Structure formats: C-alpha cells, structure tokens
A = this chain, B = another copy of it.
C-alpha cells in the first residue's frame, strides 16, 4: 500500500492509499478514517460505497461522518467507485459508465472483464486487506449512496452474514429496469437479463431467506432521480414478500445531494 495523504480529524486520522488490486488488475484507491484508539482493542468498520462520478474522497469531505465515528469508535472505509486509468477504449466517455461508474459488479464482457470487478474487490479483497493492515476487527457494516446504495444492498443480500448493519441513501433499487442500470449492465454483463439478477437489489430481496437481513433506506422526496432511476418501493415490496425487515424513510424536501446525506448519516 502507498500512503497518498493523511489528515487528523476529530481526534482520529483520515488516510488515503493506493494499492495493487488482484480483483481489478490495477492500482486501486481507498480512504480510511480511524478514530483515536484509546486501547489495544480493534474497532468495527463501516464500508461506504459512493455514487456515480465519486472517488474515495467525496464521503470523507462532505458527509461529516467522522464526528460520529469518533464518538462511537468505528472506522470508515470509502473505496473508489471504479478502476481508473486502465487505458480501456471508451472508459472516460460517459459520466455514468466506465471510470467512476463501476456499479459494483464483476464484468463478464470485453473489454471490461479484466479490470471492472468491483463486486469481488469490495466484498472480498478490500475487507481482507483492511483487516490485515489496520487496527480493525471483522465486524462490518455497509452503506452507500445512489449507485453505491445499489452496491451496498446487493453485496449485503449476497453476503448477509458478513454485515452487522446494512443501509442506503437514495439507492438504485431495481437497476435492471432503469436507464442507468440497463446501460451499465448491458455493457458489463451482456444482454442476457438472467445474468443481471445477481446484481439487482429488488430481485435479490424477493429471493432472500426470511429474516436474513434488516435494512434502513433514506430517500429524499424531492430527489430528481426518484421515479426514473431509484424506485425504492420495488425494494420495499420485495422485502415484504420474502419476509425481511426494511424501513424506508421518505424525507420531505430533501434532494440527491451530500447535504441530504450529512443530515441523516448519524442514523446509519
């Protein structure tokens, strides 16, 4: 791992690193917040998955979550949202696909399959690295925003025993049915829609074992993407169908921004 930057905040420290990733076959970046350690005991970790166009920095600079993590004694890990600079043709052509838009899947289609394996990176490689390199234990929570909310939910549904808490802000709940998801899944996963189901929260929710997961979702009711891209009701219906607890809080007047996230992050 290579340390890129380091700043003290709320008694703890925010560090950014790059490291060679096996899953993504390239150098990947993440930021970590470590609270002030008052004893030798290790702390739990919240994994935060960011949305389209974000890097490992957005959550750390804008959410205000470190104040709460410092109080509670938890670490926060914010990975990047995709591989970068892999010299794949077209990787920088779209703000909602390629760089900054890995969609937390393992790509099966060329030219993406070699690098765009964010599902394996986030669910396996990164936690193993974090747990081996930092004073954290193996208790994990997962949350995220928009595309990252989709990532948090799908990774949690597929690995429910790995996460002590699961939540999302403004998640893409039915990617197979919305423009952002259809565009990304077609290119990363191909045209066979059956292959998309393992990355679609509202389908995974339908097929989940009863009482296997408990989810908090915050969603602004003035979010411009609510109806066309996010569809949280589809997730609620699926959770109810399979017998899993979900609380969807429609927050009146809030939009899709980090100002919304900062307001409610303490509850996550």
Binds B, one of A46-54, A59-67, A136-144: A59-67
Smallest beta-carbon distance A36→chain B, Å:
10
Is A214 on the interface with B (CB-CB < 8 A)? no
Binds B, one of A152-160, A229-237, A259-267: A259-267
Contact between A260 and B7, CB atoms less than 8 A apart: yes
Interface mask (A53-84 → B, CB under 8 Å = 1, otherwise 0):
00000000110101100000000000000000
Chain A contact residue count (CB 8 A cutoff)? 22
Main SS at interface, chain A: mixed
Is A10 on the interface with B (CB-CB < 8 A)? yes
Among residues of B, the one whose C-beta sits closest to the C-beta of A252 is B8
Cα-based distance from A10 to B63 in the complex (angstroms): 12
Is A197 on the interface with B (CB-CB < 8 A)? no
Query: With A66-B262, A262-B66, A262-B67 in contact, do A7 and B257 touch (Cβ < 8 Å)?
Result: yes
Among residues of B, the one whose C-beta sits closest to the C-beta of A258 is B61
Smallest beta-carbon distance A69→chain B, Å:
12
Contact between A260 and B61, CB atoms less than 8 A apart: no
Contact between B10 and A263, CB atoms less than 8 A apart: yes
Cα-based distance from A14 to B260 in the complex (angstroms): 11
Which residues on the B side are within 8 Å of A222 (C-beta)? 8
Q: A7 contacts which of B10, B61, B64, B255 (Cβ < 8 Å)?
A: B255
Is A253 on the interface with B (CB-CB < 8 A)? yes
Cα-based distance from A65 to B137 in the complex (angstroms): 32
Contact between B61 and A64, CB atoms less than 8 A apart: no
Between A and B, 29 residue pairs with Cβ closer than 8 Å are A7-B254, A7-B255, A7-B257, A7-B259, A8-B220, A8-B222, A8-B253, A8-B254, A8-B255, A8-B259, A8-B260, A8-B263, A9-B254, A9-B259, A9-B262, A9-B263, A10-B263, A11-B263, A14-B259, A61-B61, A61-B62, A61-B258, A61-B259, A64-B64, A64-B67, A64-B262, A66-B259, A66-B262, A67-B262
Query: What 3 pairs across the A-B complex have the smallest Cβ distances?
Result: A9-B259, A64-B64, A7-B259
